Structure 1
Amino acid sequence: MDFSTNYNWEDKLLLIAEDEDFNYIFLEEILAETKVRLIRARDGQEAIRLFESNPDIDLILMDMQMPIINGYDATKRIKKIKKEIPIIAQTAFHYGEAYDEIMAAGCDDFITKPIDIGGLKNIIAKFI
């Protein structure tokens, strides 16, 4: 992956749905240089609520294993509100059944944990 690419997303807003503090802080730090604005949901229910109240969200990074409402169900509900919103799944699983389930939920792409920094930025760049 190309780590030398400088992305400037200061006019973009990302919703990060991530219940684990360490994972959110990691994402916040690696995306800081892009100047992207971030908001965080700690569970799927909060992700839906924040999406409904922030119509200017450009992309969602969705952890698939979250409390209250999981990422699969949150993605389905968000896509019913706005089908064209790009949602990138974050998952510890690799290909196979989990991949099929992620895509069936409505995610546009996915990245596996541990997250490859360059890979994540390249995936985000495809959609915003």
Structure 2
Amino acid sequence: MFNPSFLYIIIPDKFCNFANGYRLFLYFFCDSSNLNTETELLSVIFYLRFPVMEKVIVDNIAATQGLWKDKTILIVEDVESNYQFLAATLRKSGAEILWAKSGEEALKLVSGDAIIDIVLMDVQLDGMDGYMVTVELKKIRPELPVIAQTAYAMKGEKEKSKAAGCDDYLSKPIRPSELLRTISRYL
């Protein structure tokens, strides 16, 4: 069934919802004369030609799927350029993006009427740091996934985030694929 002229990559249901829980993406690098027939038989929605850069893959998957169109993501970040990067990456997923510039603002949003599905938490915030904010968020909504994001790549930082109640951890600079992959574990 599988043609050796193709490289097949299977992506799990958490990332792309399709029949039987998997969607097949096809990258071809040899003869493409039977490409349309092959892709129709295998239910491939789109394909990319080699060489493919990571950004192209992430952009195509996120942009065409509306991965989280019914989800709300809260970004707690006091540096606007960092927020803009995260928001631009996540907008393609269809999620509603909320921005809290401080821990206090994040606590108000989560304790208010906002329906928030996941939080991206900068740990280095002015005032209450991200760890303190996470402890307070978990008191309000213990089930709410919180992903720590930090420029600190020091040993023990991941453990510190877990101890504060963070569900996962991303080290800056954050790669778009890593961001989407991490969030997809929780949405």
TM, length-normalised to structure 1: 0.93
Give per-residue Cα distances to partners, 1:87-111, cap 9 Å, x unaligned: 0000012252211111100000011
1:12 to 71, 75, 80: 71
The partner residue of 2:106 within 39, 47, 70 is 47
SS at match of 1:15: strand
Shift of 1:69: 1.1
State the one-letter code of the partner of 1:107.
C
8 Å CA contact retained: 2:91, 2:97: no
Gaps of 5+ in 2: 1-53
**Cross-structure match for 1:63:** 122
Within 5 Å, give how 1:1-128 maps onto structure 2: 3=58, 4-6=60-62, 7=65, 8-94=67-153, 96-128=155-187
TM-fit CA distance, 1:54: 3.4
Partner amino acid, structure 1, of 2:90: L
Highest relative contact order (Cα 8 Å, sep 6+), 1 or 2?
1
Which amino acid in 1 is paired with 2:160? Answer: E
> CA–CA distance in 1 between the matches of 2:93 and 2:185?
14
Q: Between Structure 1 and Structure 2, how many residues are aligned?
A: 128
> What is the CA–CA distance in structure 1 between the aligned matches of 2:124 and 2:154, rounded to whole Å?
16
Which TM-score applies when normalising by structure 2? Answer: 0.65
Deviation above 6 Å: which 4+ runs of structure 1? none
In structure 2, distance between residues paired with 1:83 and 1:55: 16
Matched to 1:15, the amino acid is: L
Instruction: Tell which structure's C-alpha radius of gyration is larger.
Output: 2
Asked whether the equivalents of residues 145 and 166 of structure 2 are also in contact (C-alpha less than 8 Å), the reply is yes
SS in 2 for 1:10: coil
**8 Å CA contact 2:76, 2:100 repeated in 1:** yes
Q: CA deviation at 1:25?
A: 0.6
| C-alpha RMSD of matched pairs (Å) | 1.4
Separation (CA, whole Å) in 2 of partners of 1:111 and 1:5: 21
